[in-house]
Structure 1
Amino acid sequence: MLQAIGLTSAPRRGLPPAVDDLTFEAKPGRVTALLGAPGSGKTTALRLMLEIEPGRGITYFRGRPLHQIPHPAHEVGVLLGDVPGHPARTVRGQLRMLGAAAGVPASRADEVLDAVGLAALRDQRIGTLSLGMDRRLGLASALLGDPHALILDDPGEGLSPGECNWLHGFLRAHVARGGTVLYTTCDPKQAARAADHVVTVDAGRVVADQEITDFSRTRLRPRVAVRTPHAARLAAIVSREARAAQRSVEVVTEAGSRLSVYGSSCAEIGDTAFRHGLPVHQLADEVGDARPAAAVAFGVEAGVPRSASGAEAETTRPASEAEAKRPASGAEVASTRSEPAVSGPAVAARSASSPSEPDLLPPIRRRPARGPHRPLRYELRRLFGVRTTTLIMAAVLVASVGLSVVLARTGHAPRPKVLAAWPSLLPLPPAAFGAGLLGALSFGDEFRYPALAAGRGTVPRRIRLLLAKLVVSAGVALLLAFLVVPASAEAVHLVYGSDLIKVPSNAGSLAGSWAGLNVGCAWAGLLAAGIFRVTTAGVAAVLAVPVLVVPLVREMSAGPATDSLLGLPARLRELVWVQWPHEADPWLLAVVRVVAQPVGAALSLSLSVLVCTYAFTSLRGRVRW
């Protein structure tokens, strides 16, 4: 059961809150519709329930608020808007990635695809799906954790009648298994077809809480839609004739020149307009919402005559009935027709949990989505789920081989530069730049196509997710680095022979420097993209190391070297209590020498600044690690 109690959004400056003291419940085994016009606060109410919007109130999911549920994906499935996935990712790949985030086995992706009828499109790209198929993919994403409750924001918007019928059957099948469904809609006829219970919202308040039978009887009555330039005159004539004939007819003037007549027929309204010489531009039978947004009612009730003077409005409802059916929220309704009062357990919950002082309601703090339960698997599927990674790696290999052949032809470049394909004209070799680009995409694609948190805006900065990204990006950078060297050596050997490429004596230190350069570039791009939330920032941070930071480091270190690094390991051993073996001293000294180089020092400095900035922004955003 879902119980929303006293939901109140944080008011914006100079504006009333979008949701004000909203209280209702959705029972298991039933489909509950949250009905309201656009801008009535339905989506804000869902965001308050899911704790992704600040405000006050509380929502219980089978007796527990969402932040106290260890695995929310197993309790509630959410669909807010479209599926937030990379358009080049396949349907099955997207679900397998989200399954790793939710901590469910990979086989669950195929199960939910069968459930929503997308098994034949599992290898289709997300960007090529139609609106109906995209909505089915969103439902499949919500079902990954096999949740008890489904919360859907206007899932039938823009769908064809056939797709809407399938959606209604799908929701019915879920509640038949004992689940709970809460969805929003602005179409009262759709709510009547699909829901068992309807909660009507207007201006952020509940104005009706009804069973579907009461809703259909009071809100969906047959009517005659009339459009005429003399709407007020025709309304007065129809009301006067109905009162004279002792018939119950209600006439409601809506926006513009439109009338809605309840209790009559097209033939009667057409005859009346013809007798009085009134032009009619539209005359049609409809079944719709009996409460237009802005309406003034005219009408007569059998046996209850009312006087009218001039162009004053007349109403058929007695005052006692109108007072008895006044909306419980107290909100003013433009139409003089009555609304069913809020009834049932929601009223009791509101009276018990909505004290006179709003400060007693618990605050709703905006909480980010939880990180993936299986972050390493999630990151691998995110990285290799699109062709971008493969294309970048292939482009890096081709560019590196071509540059190595050209550098070997000139004969002036050192052998390490030839193997790394690093001409002096380029700030970075292709392998390092490619590693930095892949690192920047690691967070940049997350913010552009959020996969972890639909409707939450950004990817949460969790330490496990960050570590997984660092490990995967470092692995890809090392793979790219050590693919480039043998590929370049083989290409030079094939073109010029084996005499040009020989293994240098300091191959170990060169390999360490090469690996450190690529991994450092990958991490610089990753951290910068995570801080500034865009891929371009990550690429700029990678290029800033050789273009800006390296000249600065060289300027600072200019001058004759008077000190030596010899004896540094022994001096470090004296300062720390951990005693490492003497065999590790050469390795430590090699690392220090690499870092002491201008490029190594610049990269180390950049990474230090990015790590501190990332930690600062995470703590400033009050993100729990």
Structure 2
Amino acid sequence: MIQAIGLTSTPRKELPPAVDDVSFEAHPGRVTALLGAPGAGKTTTLRLMLELQRGRGITYFRGRPLHRIAHPSREAGVLLSEVPGHPARTIRGQLGMVCAAVGVPIRRVDEVIEVVGLVSLCDERLGTLSRGMDRRLGLACALLSDPHALVLDDPAGGLSVAEGRWLHEILRAHAAHGGTVLFSTDDPKEAARTADRVITLEGGRLVADQEAADFARTRLRPRVAVRSPHAARLGALLAKEARAAQRSVEVVREDGNRLSVYGSTCADIGETAFRHGILVHQLADETGDMGPRATLPAEGLASATVVASALLTSASATSTLTDDALTDDAPTQDALTDDASTQDAPATDEPATAVAATGAHTPDEPGPTAESRTRAAASPGARDLPQLPPPIAVRQAPSPLRPLRYELRRATGVGTGYLTSITVLVSSALLSVLLARIGHTPQPRLLAAWPRDCPLPPAALGAGLLGALAFGEEFRHPALAADRGTVPRRLGLLAAKLLVASVTALALAVLTVGCDLEMLYLVYGRDLAGVPADWLSLSASWIGLTVGCAWAGVLAAGIFRSTTAGLAAVLAVPVVVVPLVQKTLTGPSVRKAAGFSERLRELLLMQWPFGGARYIAAGARLVAQPVGSALMLSLTALLCAYLLTTLRSRVR
């Protein structure tokens, strides 16, 4: 059950709030439609319910607010807009990423693909999907964690009649299994045809809360749609004959050559047109819309107001309680709301009106707890000031429950990484052959395809680009945080991205050297394909350079939310940081660290008697190099900045 109480958006400067004090319920096993014209506040209401927008009010999902549910995606499946994701990712790859994000087994992908009818299109890319297929994929994402409630914003918008009928059949099947379905629409006929209950918004306020049958009786009525090149003449004749026969017939002139006739039949209109020789192009029975204001009788609106005030009082009394107390009080709110909303007594029923107005409760209807009444009485000015609904704070974006699996599927689901790696290997091999032909290039730089005038070799640039894409693609195509626009800065997600970036950079470094050796051997023979004597320290330096560039790209893209910024941070190490480090090390000083390497070697030999000092000494020499020290300095600064932004977002 979904209970929305006192939803109010934040006012916009001098304009009124888009949603003002909206309260309603959506019951399990039923389909509830949120109806309103464009701009009535439907989307804002749903965003306030899901805590995606700041405002006031509270929404209970089976007795608990969404921010107190451990895994919100398993409670409410959401579809608010088009499915975000990289255009080159396949349907199966997108659903696999969502599976890792919400923590459900990968076999669930095949189940929902079959449910939504995408079995034959599971390998299609997101950029090629039509509107109907995109809606099916969005519904699959909402159903992936098997939620109890479905919250959909205009799910049938832009769909054909057949696709819309299929979509509503899926929603009806979900409700038949005990789930709660809430969807918004601006079509009254769709709401009356597909929903069990219709909640009407106008200007950000609740104007009606009715059963579908009552809504159809008070809001919709049958009409005859007529299209004729002589529509004005036919309309005048129909009105004249209705007055002569003293029948209640209303003729409404539509755009162009169309008429809407209320209170008559196709047979009567056809006979009138035949008698007067009027050509008719269309004559069909339809369901007409009486407009947004002819919605709810006075007694119905009074009943809805009583329910909203009772729910708001109960919510204010229980908003400061703990999780257990809040869960225990949920049946009380349900009983109060059910009794108030299902009563059929008219507004002139004095006992019922008196009970609702004074806030008293019958013996069968438990009221607020003694603790809540004591708090309300003890608060200063409680009787003078109205009780405002609690503020709505925007929830942080969800973090994947399986970060490593999520990152692996993200990295391997798009061909950008493969294309970048192939480009790096080809350019590195060609550059090494060109450098060998020119000459005057040392063997280590020849194997790495690193010219002296180039700040970084192709492998390091490629590793930095792949690291920058790890966060940059998610900010451009937010598969993880679709409705919030940012990627959560969680340490688990960062560790997964750093690990995958390290493995990718290591593989790229090894493959680059192997391809360069093979090309040099094929073109020039064994003279240039030899292995240097100090290959161990050179390998450590080479791997450290590529992995460090990849890490710099990951951290910078996570901080600045841009792939370009991540790659710029990688290039800034040799261009900006290395000259600063060299200037610092070679500048004038009073004391110099003479003999530091010998003393460090003695210390390492004392602490590592089994030969481990050799590897530590190689790492120390790597850090002592200008590029290594500059890279370590940049990584430290980026990591500190990332942790600072993480802590700041958590404090907020």
Instruction: Please classify the TM superposition score into its range, dividing by the shorter chain length.
Output: 0.7 to 0.9
Shift in CA distance, 144/587, structure 1 to aligned 2, threshold 3 Å: same
Give how far 1:220 is off.
Answer: 1.2
| Aligned 8 A contact 1:79 1:454 in 2 | no
Give how far 1:402 is off.
Answer: 1.1
Shift in CA distance, 357/467, structure 1 to aligned 2, threshold 3 Å: farther
Give how far 1:36 is off.
Answer: 0.7
Give how far 1:223 is off.
Answer: 4.0
What is the SS of the residue equivalent to 2:151? Answer: strand
In the TM superposition, what whole-angstrom CA distance separates every residue of 1:156-189 from its partner, at most 9, and x where no partner exists?
0000001011111111111111111111111111
- Between the aligned partners of 1:201 and 1:289, the Cα distance in structure 2 is 19
- Between the aligned partners of 2:212 and 2:523, the Cα distance in structure 1 is 80
Aligned residue in 1 for 2:638:
610
| Aligned 8 A contact 1:101 1:374 in 2 | yes
Aligned residue in 2 for 1:152:
152
Pick the aligned partner of 1:530 from 558, 566, 569. 558
1:342 correspondence with 2:342: no
Pick the aligned partner of 1:566 from 592, 597, 603. 597
Aligned residue in 2 for 1:50:
50
- Between the aligned partners of 1:31 and 1:352, the Cα distance in structure 2 is 25
Pick the aligned partner of 1:324 from 298, 305, 319. 298
In the TM superposition, what whole-angstrom CA distance separates every residue of 1:439-472 from its partner, at most 9, and x where no partner exists?
1111111011111122221221111111111111
TM-score, length of structure 2 as denominator length: 0.80
Q: Partner letter of residue 324 of structure 1?
A: A
Deviates more, 1:153-162 or 1:71-80: 71-80
1:581 correspondence with 2:608: yes
- Between the aligned partners of 1:400 and 1:253, the Cα distance in structure 2 is 74
1:92 correspondence with 2:123: no
- Between the aligned partners of 1:2 and 1:585, the Cα distance in structure 2 is 64
- Between the aligned partners of 2:12 and 2:237, the Cα distance in structure 1 is 46
Give how far 1:267 is off.
Answer: 9.5
| Aligned 8 A contact 1:101 1:373 in 2 | yes
| Aligned 8 A contact 2:218 2:296 in 1 | no
TM-score, length of structure 1 as denominator length: 0.83
In the TM superposition, what whole-angstrom CA distance separates every residue of 1:29-55 from its partner, at most 9, and x where no partner exists?
111111111111111111111111111
| Aligned 8 A contact 1:153 1:185 in 2 | yes
What is the SS of the residue equivalent to 1:51? Answer: coil
What is the SS of the residue equivalent to 1:487? Answer: helix
Shift in CA distance, 260/22, structure 1 to aligned 2, threshold 3 Å: farther
In the TM superposition, what whole-angstrom CA distance separates every residue of 1:511-570 from its partner, at most 9, and x where no partner exists?
121111111111111112112212111111111222222222222323479324325648
- Between the aligned partners of 1:172 and 1:566, the Cα distance in structure 2 is 75
Alignment of 1:269-288 (within 5 A): 287=286
| Aligned 8 A contact 1:10 1:17 in 2 | yes
Aligned residue in 1 for 2:396:
368
Shift in CA distance, 608/617, structure 1 to aligned 2, threshold 3 Å: same
Aligned residue in 2 for 1:413:
441
| Aligned 8 A contact 1:91 1:121 in 2 | yes
What is the SS of the residue equivalent to 2:64? Answer: coil
Aligned residue in 2 for 1:188:
188
Aligned residue in 1 for 2:220:
220
Alignment of 1:65-80 (within 5 A): 65-80=65-80
Shift in CA distance, 286/401, structure 1 to aligned 2, threshold 3 Å: same
- Between the aligned partners of 1:201 and 1:77, the Cα distance in structure 2 is 23
Query: Higher helix proportion, which one?
Result: 2
What is the SS of the residue equivalent to 1:201? Answer: strand
1:515 correspondence with 2:489: no
1:384 correspondence with 2:412: yes
- Between the aligned partners of 1:420 and 1:244, the Cα distance in structure 2 is 98
| Aligned 8 A contact 1:201 1:207 in 2 | yes
Deviates more, 1:496-505 or 1:517-526: 496-505
Give how far 1:292 is off.
Answer: 2.8
Shift in CA distance, 268/480, structure 1 to aligned 2, threshold 3 Å: same
What is the SS of the residue equivalent to 1:455? Answer: coil
| Aligned 8 A contact 2:36 2:202 in 1 | yes
Shift in CA distance, 401/538, structure 1 to aligned 2, threshold 3 Å: same
In the TM superposition, what whole-angstrom CA distance separates every residue of 1:469-506 from its partner, at most 9, and x where no partner exists?
11111111111111111221122122212222333232
| Aligned 8 A contact 2:223 2:288 in 1 | no
Which ranges in structure 1 are unaligned for 5 or more consecutive residues? 274-280, 298-320, 329-340, 574-578
Aligned residue in 2 for 1:125:
125
Q: Partner letter of residue 292 of structure 1?
A: G
Shift in CA distance, 104/433, structure 1 to aligned 2, threshold 3 Å: same
| Aligned 8 A contact 2:225 2:286 in 1 | no
- Between the aligned partners of 1:503 and 1:526, the Cα distance in structure 2 is 32
Alignment of 1:146-545 (within 5 A): 146-223=146-223, 247-248=247-248, 262-263=262-263, 287=286, 290-292=289-291, 324=298, 327=301, 342=304, 348-350=310-312, 352-353=314-315, 360-545=388-573
- Between the aligned partners of 1:207 and 1:568, the Cα distance in structure 2 is 83
Shift in CA distance, 201/251, structure 1 to aligned 2, threshold 3 Å: farther
Alignment of 1:591-610 (within 5 A): 591-610=619-638
- Between the aligned partners of 2:472 and 2:651, the Cα distance in structure 1 is 19
Count of residue correspondences: 580
